[in-house]
Structure 1
Amino acid sequence: MEVCRLNVMKRSALLAALCFTGSAVAATPFTFITNWYAQAEHGGFYQAKAEGLYEKNGLDVSIRMGGPQVNATQLLVAGQAQCIITDDIGVMMANKRGLPVQMVATTFQYDPTVVITHDDVKKLADLKGHTVLISASAHSSWWPWAKKKFGFSDEMSRPYTFNIQPFIMDNSVAQQGFMTSEPFALQKANAKANVFSIGQEGYPPYGNSIACRNDVIQDHPEQVAAFLKATMQGWKDYLADPSQGNALIKKANPNMGDDQIAYSVEKLNSSGIITGGAAKTAGIGSITDARMGKTWQMAVDNGLFSADDVKLNKVYTTQFMSDIKVLP
């Protein structure tokens, strides 16, 4: 095993994990919960597992699938996982409730939520006055931002039931979606549509962020560092050749078809959602003070919480990703 020569003793545990290249010591159990059923959007985690990158970094990682009935944050604070996939606003709202959760990294450099319109709508501002189908969670995340930016109103919104048929049947309706999901379903249905990325329209949060329990961050920073280091290398490898990760994804979720996976991988590569933005120079998964501050300010301005209720410096830490630099 390589020995890391550290100059700053208080960071020795963290840097030791980053320099770790192998050991005869048994791997440490580590549970990670995703935000949905296994899919290409989780490819880097499954790739790292398939390639043995977690084991090489001293961890025995179990990846648990999320889903519509899984409250990952609740399971996290109950001690059933060390880290989860969540979103920036979700971490801030958890902080408001006094839950000991902190964001440590991201997967996507911008939010993968899209607004899908019929082809007569050329820009999102043109949707003013139309019906837009949105999820319940949108009201406490991107919808308040869209109301301010584009002049939308709550009267425009209707519940989205994760079914594309209402959109197909009504040319006056728009809907939200996920960059790699609903556009693919509409393509298979031969339905013409325009797709607008809210992240690329200026919505500041990251996407598929990674959050961990505060006690894990404080007491076992070497585990968090090892997990993130292996994960970011897994993402780099997955984008280059996803075959190993896809095999584990399909094993965990047999309903995931090859055509859906292929579509998603192509979008993950072509959009730059993983390798663009700060990831180009700071490394895959990186987060910045500026972006987190912008998201926090947006949430405060939109009345999601007050500046007194949620302190920005309690929401996230860059202590891990500042030392991990897996460049695309």
Structure 2
Amino acid sequence: MLRSISFLVGCVIVAGCGSSDSSTNTTPVAVADAQALKPVAVQLNWFPESEHGGLYQAAADQTFLSHGMNVEIRPGGRQSPVAPELVLGRGQFAMANADDVVLFRNQGADIVAVLAAMQNHPRCILVREDSGVKRFEDLAGKTLQRQGGRAFLEFMRSKGLLDQVKEVPYHGSVSALVTDPDVAIQAYSFAEPLLAEQQGVKVRKLMLSELGWNPYSSVLITTGDMVRNQPELVQDFVDATRAGWQHYLSDPQLGNEAILKANQHGMTIEALQFGHQELKTLALPEGMSSKSIGQMTDERWHTLVSQMVELGLVDGDKVRADDCYTMQFLK
């Protein structure tokens, strides 16, 4: 069963300004304030990690509370029901990647992106430094561990970069890379490189963003119905989440502590610290101010949809780029 983390108890304690024992803190003021909070559920697309740091930071430092919300963060996993949770009304928001949004809409789900925390995608192909691979073209003759059906693979395939590569399933471990210099693995730049280097193997990251595949990552999504009928709630949540990301990238301590409590799958403070440093470069490319966190552009979305149509991943008659996102809440 997936674990979830709710911050209502902490909100009641703060509102009551009384004993730290929440079981006895039931003053009328505390109860009234707690009942006045708007309940909001957000579904993660993976186990809690640094890529969700802005959400956990906003909960831990009471930014959500200050915006009048009691937020439940629901951890995900390998089969996270992201779009169904929103479409069925079991949650108001979720996390995804931009290409997921395009696929959701192609499947008929009215999913809309309202914020993009990561300007550059962390997807990479990870190789050993002693593998001789310095660019994507050098993967010829190597074995690539990957999860089939991913859009980035089709992009690589369209460039002829997998023509001479043996593709095998990826099971979420760096062990094959560690033991064999002829093995490459799919990875996120803020996670797997640390795991490999902790086992004494120096690695090189081939970033898909530099190849031209660069969907927004750590994207906050909701439904078109929420955008149309509850714009005030969407605005409050976007504002609080943006502030959470600003706080997390500045000082991740509270957010990391909350992630460690929520992640029961071997997460460590070292991994979160490594991830935080990497995410700073992904969320704030050179020249970008922290005040601009979350911003999106028409050009990026139109480019992504065009790429996915050209790759045959979506039907251009079903998916319009302008329907995939809105920037009305990014003041």
- TM-score class, shorter-chain normalisation, is 0.7 to 0.9
User: In the alignment, does 2:256 pair up with 1:223?
Assistant: no
Shift of 1:281: 8.1
> What is aligned with 1:237?
247
| Identity value in percent | 28
User: In the alignment, does 2:257 pair up with 1:257?
Assistant: no
Residues 128 and 150 of structure 1 are in contact (CA less than 8 Å); yes or no, is this contact kept in structure 2? no
User: In the alignment, does 2:208 pair up with 1:198?
Assistant: yes
Residues 117 and 294 of structure 2 are in contact (CA less than 8 Å); yes or no, is this contact kept in structure 1? yes
CA distance in 1: counterparts of 2:228 and 2:91, whole angstroms:
15
Residues 177 and 184 of structure 2 are in contact (CA less than 8 Å); yes or no, is this contact kept in structure 1? yes
User: In the alignment, does 2:307 pair up with 1:295?
Assistant: no
Residues 124 and 150 of structure 1 are in contact (CA less than 8 Å); yes or no, is this contact kept in structure 2? no
> What is aligned with 1:170?
180
CA distance in 2: counterparts of 1:312 and 1:52, whole angstroms:
35
TM-score, normalising length from structure 1? 0.85
Moved over 3 A (4+): 277-282
Q: Which runs of 5+ in 1 are unaligned?
A: 1-23, 324-328
> Which of 132, 136, 143 is residue 124 of structure 1 equivalent to?
136
> What is aligned with 1:159?
169
> What is aligned with 1:33?
43
**Judging changes above 3 Å, is the alpha-carbon distance between structure 1 residues 314 and 200 closer, same or farther for their aligned structure 2 residues?**
same
Shift of 1:278: 8.6
SS of 2:326's equivalent in the other structure is coil
Which digits, 9 at most, give the CA deviation of each residue in 1:31-56, with x for residues without a partner? 11111222222111111111111121
Residues 44 and 80 of structure 2 are in contact (CA less than 8 Å); yes or no, is this contact kept in structure 1? no
> What is aligned with 1:94?
104
User: In the alignment, does 2:217 pair up with 1:207?
Assistant: yes
TM-score, normalising length from structure 2? 0.84
**Judging changes above 3 Å, is the alpha-carbon distance between structure 1 residues 273 and 79 closer, same or farther for their aligned structure 2 residues?**
same
Instruction: Kindly provide the amino acid, as one letter, of the partner of residue 207 in structure 2.
Output: S
CA distance in 2: counterparts of 1:281 and 1:163, whole angstroms:
33
> Which of 82, 86, 94 is residue 72 of structure 1 equivalent to?
82
Instruction: Kindly provide the amino acid, as one letter, of the partner of residue 261 in structure 1.
Output: L
CA distance in 2: counterparts of 1:190 and 1:76, whole angstroms:
42
Which digits, 9 at most, give the CA deviation of each residue in 1:66-124, with x for residues without a partner? 11232111212111111101111211111111112111111211211110112211111
> What is aligned with 1:286?
295
Residues 107 and 285 of structure 1 are in contact (CA less than 8 Å); yes or no, is this contact kept in structure 2? yes
CA distance in 2: counterparts of 1:212 and 1:261, whole angstroms:
26
Q: Which runs of 5+ in 2 are unaligned?
A: 1-32
Shift of 1:282: 7.0
Instruction: Kindly provide the amino acid, as one letter, of the partner of residue 83 in structure 2.
Output: T
Shift of 1:137: 4.0
CA distance in 1: counterparts of 2:289 and 2:147, whole angstroms:
32
> What is aligned with 2:148?
136
Residues 279 and 285 of structure 1 are in contact (CA less than 8 Å); yes or no, is this contact kept in structure 2? no
Shift of 1:277: 6.7
SS of 1:285's equivalent in the other structure is coil
> What is aligned with 1:62?
72
> Which of 285, 296, 301 is residue 276 of structure 1 equivalent to?
285
Which digits, 9 at most, give the CA deviation of each residue in 1:163-184, with x for residues without a partner? 1122222222211111111101
CA distance in 2: counterparts of 1:158 and 1:37, whole angstroms:
24
> Which of 311, 323, 329 is residue 314 of structure 1 equivalent to?
323
Residues 32 and 81 of structure 1 are in contact (CA less than 8 Å); yes or no, is this contact kept in structure 2? yes
Shift of 1:279: 4.9
CA distance in 1: counterparts of 2:232 and 2:287, whole angstroms:
24
CA RMSD of aligned residues (A): 2.1
